[in-house]
A = this chain, B = another copy of it.
């Protein structure tokens, strides 16, 4: 099989993705990235125009694909051809499942990407701008679908619920290894099947609980 050889740009994106995910933006140097990628230091500025541009390029590369897949699944559960209003479980499934599927069946690049995404999402200095640029449009569609699936909930409850939902997902993707330590090895953070079996039920039940708050 003739495998297409990785270009310099791809080597740099792969190495940056991996190292930014583990060490953060300021904790990773361009020299470390180019050494990992096996290319010359100056090529970062030649191909991307600087460290920050490289960082954004890493986030952009897989962001569009994730949005596509999420919207495709959302369409399946509450689009024109779908049964009446989608269940909350179906909406949160359309939000989580693309990530879990990529984690289970795609390469290690997605692994690093999601870990990096968790890092960015929790960062006061990067979160607002970079997450918004890539994901705001998609997220608003999901929030609308959540509101439709829980018609009795106040909009404020759905926004806060989405915040909690994202937080639960984010920490699960961050690869801190803390779950492994706390459970004495009984649970493993990298066990995608275990995460898949629990994240959806937890979040759907939580949203329902929010919707019935005080009612």
The interface of chain A, by Cβ under 8 A from chain B, is 21-27, 115, 118-119, 121-125, 127-128, 131-132, 136, 139-140, 143, 155-157, 159-172, 174-179, 181-183, 186-187, 194-195, 197-199, 201-210, 213
Structural contact, A131 and B178, CB atoms closer than 8 A: yes
Known: A167-B170, A201-B210. A25 touches B27 (CB 8 A): yes
Kindly state the separation between the CA atoms of A55 and B111 in the bound complex, as whole angstroms: 29
Chain B CB count within 10 A is highest, among A172, A179, A210, for A210
Residues of chain B with a CB closer than 8 A to A186's CB: 155-156, 159
Known: A160-B195, A205-B208. A171 touches B172 (CB 8 A): no
Query: Which of B171, B181, B194, B213 meets A167, CB within 8 Å?
Result: B171
Residues of chain B with a CB closer than 8 A to A124's CB: 21-22, 115, 119, 174-177
Chain B residue at minimal CB-CB distance from A116: B124
Q: How far is the CB of A15 from chain B (nearest CB, A)?
A: 16
Structural contact, B176 and A121, CB atoms closer than 8 A: yes
Residues of chain B with a CB closer than 8 A to A208's CB: 205, 209
Kindly state the separation between the CA atoms of A128 and B178 in the bound complex, as whole angstroms: 5
Residues of chain B with a CB closer than 8 A to A198's CB: 157, 160-161, 164, 210, 213
Residues of chain B with a CB closer than 8 A to A207's CB: 202
Known: A195-B160, A213-B201. A177 touches B122 (CB 8 A): no
Residues of chain B with a CB closer than 8 A to A171's CB: 121-122, 163-164, 166-167, 170-171
Kindly state the separation between the CA atoms of A175 and B127 in the bound complex, as whole angstroms: 9
Structural contact, B122 and A182, CB atoms closer than 8 A: no
Kindly state the separation between the CA atoms of A42 and B145 in the bound complex, as whole angstroms: 56
Q: How far is the CB of A195 from chain B (nearest CB, A)?
A: 7
Residues of chain B with a CB closer than 8 A to A156's CB: 183, 186-187, 194
Structural contact, A174 and B26, CB atoms closer than 8 A: no
